[in-house]
Amino acid sequence: MPTKKINQTQEIIGKVFHDSELAFGLKEFEGVDLEKVLEITEEEKNRFYVKDLKSGKEKFVWDNVKHTGKPEEIVRQLWLYKLNSVYKYPLERMDTEKSIHFGREIHAKAADIVVYKKDKITPFIIVEVKSPTEKKGIDQLKTYLNAEGAEIGFWSNGMSHVILYRPYPKEFDDTLPDLPSADQTIDDLLEAKKTYYEYTTTKESLKDIIETMEELVLANAGVDVFTEVFKLIYAKLYDEQEAKINRADHEVYFRKYRDPAKTYAVINELFKKAIEKWPGTFYKQENINLSQEHLSVVVGELERARLFGSDLSIIDEAFEYLIPEVAKGKKGQYFTPRHVIAMAVKMLNPRRDEYVIDPAAGSGGFLISAMYWVRDNYLNSSDEAMKEYAKEYIWGIDFAEEISKTSRALMLIAGDGRSHMFKLNSLDPREWQGEDGQLLDARAKLKTRLAEFDNPADNSENQKTFRYFNFDVLLTNPPFAGEIKDQGILRQYFFGKKKGKLVNKVERHILFIERTLDMLRPGGRMAAVLPQGVLNNTNMEYVREYLLDKAQILAVVGLHGNTFKPHTGTKTSVLFLKKWEKDEKPLPDYPIFMAVSKKAGKDNSGDYVYRKDRNGNYVHDAKGRKVLDHDLDEIADEFVKFAKEQKLDF
């Protein structure tokens, strides 16, 4: 049948990429006019083709009957366009579907795009394109470089890319921050200055970048991957802030240089200056422990991402991936899924003049969510106002070294709320004593939030013990596993005694229940993730009686069993409380909001499950991100209605 020109390019692309985020924003090709670049035709009924920019031939992309297609062909055509229009390589210096030779043999698979040097004979860049659902094929790309003697390998799935540099005849040992343009040498590219505004906020998954760094060198570098990557992120944050604010030309120094020794010297110096600017996360004598060659590779990957101003979920996901399993699972401490956090924050509704604390802060998820809630609901969505709010009202404590580092970095990125993030053991204020500079600073700041009593003796005692605080809102997911046997700790708690005598041991989360209530002012509100047994088991009745005596139970939300998988299958609930006012007597009877989540947003393996529309396509939010399939938003909305009906005062 005759060729039929298709004007609805976006519509066809949406079908080709029906199961990927690419249909909602070709991130590698933002700003490209798809209607002009991609000539899509219907060569035969219900079969669609795109015109190859190099050969002019029609390439199959979609079958409207079988609902199958080749998204990688769209990616290839767009890269042909970008290599030609952005990097200025003439089409006559490019080939598509070129067979790869291994000695006398011809490899069965052809390279998607080959860019030649000016002689139009010698391969310079080999491009391998994939569907957005495919994993990186770095090893395959390396074999192509070796076989053809090309210097640069380029892999892309349309969402992100990897660049390999192989200075032939040497083996692969390097990466590049970008492709050189047709009028640039590799040396030109590596020595060219970069400015802060040349880098856009990272849309590519930082987790994917780190996984690429691991695949390239980190997994075999003989270093603690979390610590070394964290050092680099710290150095990059410092460099970005300096480039934006304090350098007249806005030049960034965190980048790959031609000489690996220079790369190491520059990046390590940035790390040292970051330690000076933001003390308390690393020791002054620490250095980057990666070798010069390994550092050169990973900097090439990381430099193109801009962290400040990025979507925090991208950074958060990367840190969750980085935290070692031992740190996540030890003592029952796990990252709280962000949709659980969002529900809790919405239900408690922290306001602009309220002090918020998490005494088991982890990566700072509750606190960051509270910051954004206040920004969007009480500060006219102003980031600057949020930063000022965070400096005063956001407080967090955590005992784990790696996790406390993470929360500080996330606070830096989110809005500089790190001034009240402390590495301390919330359950044992005895450990807060000492003359160490960090402890002195923590004590001085925490004293400003201590509760005040009419009795001077009580005030004096509280100044020593740090037992009672006056925070307005508390959000937390305390560690579940483990028992406290230390008699010195147990002596500090009501739950540490029975009939006036010290008990032998108490589960950690039980002590946290008492500790968190002591941190709230009268009338303060809290949400805590707890094992369901605390609320259900008959042997926990004494805990429930304590809660009823100290606070009004606002709500109990039972979470789905998959919520904390794959880390744990423990059944959990979120308990919402409002501490009784100073002279308020506990009510004998009152309504409590109760709900049970039926959709966790995760499957039985702990993998995230995303919502789909009637046609089986993923639902995306305004930022192009897939929407988790859970029901906690609906539960939060119902609680808000309940609170208004009951005239709850917050």
pTM: 0.74
C-alpha to C-alpha distance for 134 and 142, rounded to whole angstroms? 17
Share of the chain above pLDDT 70, in %: 88
Residue with tokens 């909001």: 593
The sheet that has 105-116: what strands, in order across it?
A: 94-102, 105-116, 123-129, 152-156, 161-165, 174-175
Alpha-carbon span 647 to 650, nearest angstrom: 9
What is the pLDDT, as a whole number, of residue 642?
97
Confidence bin at 182 (pLDDT 50/70/90):
very high
Cα separation, 637 vs 631, whole angstroms: 10
At 152 the pLDDT is 93
Using alpha carbons, select from 227, 179, 584, 194 the residue that is nearest to residue 402: 227
Is the pLDDT score of 331 beyond 50? Answer: no
pLDDT in tens, 581-608: 988 999 989 999 999 999 999 999 888 8
Helix extents (H) in 178-324: 186-191, 206-216, 225-245, 260-277, 292-302, 312-322
Q: Dump pLDDT digits (tens) for 488-529.
A: 999 999 999 988 899 999 999 999 999 999 999 999 999 999
Region 174-192: mean pLDDT is: 84
For residue 58, give the 3-state DSSP assignment. Answer: strand
Instruction: Please give the distance of CA 620 from its chain centroid, rounded to a whole number.
Output: 18
Distance CA 442, CA 396 (A): 11
Query: What was the pLDDT predicted at 309?
Result: 66
Q: Is the domain 323-645 a CATH 3.40.50.800 member?
A: no
pLDDT over threshold 80, residue 314: no
Confidence of residue 108 (pLDDT cuts 50, 70, 90): low
Give the pLDDT of residue 416. 60
What pLDDT shows up at residue 221?
78
Question: CA 418 to CA 292: how far, in whole Å?
Answer: 31
Q: What is the tens place of the pLDDT at every residue in 601-626?
A: 999 988 888 998 887 778 877 766 77
Contact by Cβ (8 Å): 69, 16: yes
pLDDT in the model for residue 24:
47
* Dihedral sign from CA coordinates of 511, 512, 515, 517: negative
What SS3 state is found at 279?
coil
Beta bridge partners of residue 49, listed in sequence order? 41, 60
pLDDT digits (tens, 9 = 90+) for 427-478: 999 999 888 877 888 899 999 999 999 899 999 999 999 999 999 999 999 9
Query: Where is mean pLDDT largest: 31-40, 234-243, 543-552?
Result: 543-552
4-5: strand order across its sheet: 4-5, 40-44, 47-51, 58-63, 68-69
Q: Are strands 394-398 and 421-423 parallel, antiparallel or unpaired?
A: parallel
pLDDT band at 23 (very low <50, low <70, confident <90, very high): very low
Instruction: Compute the distance between CA of residue 480 and CA of residue 362 in angstroms, rounded to an integer.
Output: 13
Smallest CA-to-CA distance from 594 within 579, 574, 578 is with 574
Segment 400-407 mean pLDDT: 69
> Would you list the domain boundaries of the chain?
1-176, 196-302, 323-645
The predicted pLDDT at position 200 comes to 63
How confident is the model at residue 172, as a pLDDT? Answer: 67
Can you name the CATH fold of 1-176? tt1808, chain A (3.90.1570)
Indicate the SS3 state at residue 562: coil
The amino acid present at 209, given as its one-letter code, is: I
Dihedral (CA of 385, 391, 397, 403) sign? positive
451's enclosing H/E stretch is none
So what's the pLDDT on residue 4? 47
Tell me whether the CATH fold assigned to 1-176 matches the one assigned to 323-645. no
Weakest-pLDDT range from 205-209, 432-436, 644-648: 205-209
